[in-house]
């Protein structure tokens, strides 16, 4: 169940909507990497993925200091793979992380259709 922070009138008893979005990307990335490691018989002991959501200004934004609407959503993903892997295998796993279905959906953009019932 999702909830809002106390600062905006919620009860702060569950993850925020952006927390849930971040968690879905982290979970999908972890599952994708585990499947790849299993398929390739890689000697990994564990995979940990952390995703943080922030609102940031685009690097090339003019007048950003005066315009809060110039901010974009940014998901920062940190991946830690515990295992005896070569640098080449680690680099390949970072490429594989970008193939998780949630990453691909978010990177491609989402069209949202809203209907009344």
**68-101 pLDDT, tens per residue?**
666 788 999 999 999 999 999 999 999 999 999 9
- Whether residue 7 is contained in a domain is answered as no
Residue 81, strand partner residues:
47
* Residue among 97, 96, 106 nearest 75 (CA): 106
pTM over 0.85: no
Report the domain count for the chain.
1
Q: Is residue 81 assigned to a domain?
A: yes
Residue 38's CATH number: 3.30.300.20
Identify whether 46 is part of a domain: yes
Q: Is residue 113 part of a domain?
A: no
Which range marks the domain in which residue 92 is found? 17-59+67-108
Q: Is the residue at 77 inside a domain?
A: yes
Residue 92 maps to a domain: yes
């Amino acid at each position: 169940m999702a909830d809002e922070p106390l600062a905006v009138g919620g009860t702060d008893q569950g993850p925020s909507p952006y927390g849930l979005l971040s968690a879905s990307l982290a979970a999908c990335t972890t599952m994708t990497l585990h499947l790849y490691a299993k398929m390739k018989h890689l000697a990994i002991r564990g995979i940990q993925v952390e995703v943080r959501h922030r609102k940031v200004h685009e690097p090339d934004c003019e007048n950003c200091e005066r315009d809060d609407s110039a901010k974009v959503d940014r998901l920062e993903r940190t991946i830690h793979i515990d295992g005896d892997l070569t640098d080449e295998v680690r680099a390949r796993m970072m490429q594989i992380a970008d193939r998780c279905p949630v990453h691909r959906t978010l990177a491609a953009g989402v069209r949202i259709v809203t209907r009344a019932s």
